[in-house]
């Protein structure tokens, strides 16, 4: 499991994703500094993320269905703390 982002928000995100989706691979990157001066930027960081996640639960699901599963797992974090999340969700064996 590759977990690049390690602040409190990222830690909570990873915990929720692990619990809800049992990923075989997950990589979460805090991209907040790349968005300094843009909408939603938080000087405390942890406002913009990139997520790569692989889970059996994504098998047979569309891209939109996969994103909904991720958003559901993250819950209120997506409304209260995270401004943007770029998601690459795939099932095992997919490129």
Residue scoring higher pLDDT (6 or 37) = 6
State the Cα–Cα distance between residues 49 and 32, nearest whole angstrom.
Answer: 7
Question: How many CB atoms sit inside 10 A of residue 81's CB?
Answer: 16
Average confidence (pLDDT) over 9-18: 95
CATH classification of 8-90 is 3.30.300.90, yes or no? Answer: yes
Q: What is the pLDDT of residue 79?
A: 86
Longest dimension (CA), the chain: 39
State the Cα–Cα distance between residues 4 and 14, nearest whole angstrom.
Answer: 10
Q: How confident is the model at residue 2 (pLDDT cuts 50, 70, 90)?
A: very low
pLDDT digits (tens, 9 = 90+) for 53-82: 999 999 999 999 999 999 999 999 998 888
Average confidence (pLDDT) over 38-59: 81
Q: Mean of the per-residue pLDDT values for the chain?
A: 87
Closest C-alpha to 29, from 44, 15, 9: 9
């Amino acid at each position: 499991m590759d977990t690049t982002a390690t602040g409190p928000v990222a830690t909570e995100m990873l915990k929720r994703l692990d619990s809800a989706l049992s990923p075989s691979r997950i990589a979460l990157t805090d991209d907040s500094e790349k968005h300094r001066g843009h909408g939603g930027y938080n000087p405390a960081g942890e406002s913009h993320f990139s997520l790569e996640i692989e889970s059996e639960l994504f098998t047979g699901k569309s891209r939109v269905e996969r994103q909904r599963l991720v958003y559901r797992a993250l819950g209120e974090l997506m409304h209260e703390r995270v401004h943007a999340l770029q998601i690459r969700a795939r099932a095992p064996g997919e490129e």
